[in-house]
Amino acid sequence: MWRDVERIGHEHDAKYAMLLDLLARLKGQKVLVFSYYRDTARYVYERLRADLEVAKLRKRLGSPRVHCLDSGVATKDRLNIVARFAPLESE
């Protein structure tokens, strides 16, 4: 799916543009984005990683660290991601 839509800029993806606006407003805070569909989660993850290469957007969003956590991620890696996101709750 990602290959089919990667040519679409986020200026043509209203929901993605709204997500970027929301992330800009939440700059510096921890944010979880949930999706029912794994392909959608991976699309958002890949799109954010690519877009964060642009310094202007990275600065606007506060240089966030972005991770994707789905059924394709090994259990050990999932636990590490959760522990980094919420270290006190992971103990």
The pLDDT of residue 90 is 58
The pLDDT of residue 50 is 92
Three-state SS string over 37-67 comes to: CHHHHHHHHHHHHHHCCCHHHHHHHCCCCCC
Q: Do residues 39 and 77 make contact, with C-beta atoms less than 8 angstroms apart?
A: no
Which residue type is seen at 69?
L
What are the tens digits of pLDDT across the range 38-87?
988 999 999 999 999 999 999 999 988 899 988 888 999 988 888 888 87
Reduced to 3 states (helix: H, G, I; strand: E, B; else coil), residue 14 is helix
pTM, entire model: 0.75
Residues in the chain: 91
Q: Where do we find the tokens 């990683």?
A: 49
Q: What is the rounded distance in angstroms from the CA atom of residue 3 to the CA atom of residue 5? A: 6
The pLDDT of residue 26 is 94
The pLDDT of residue 88 is 77
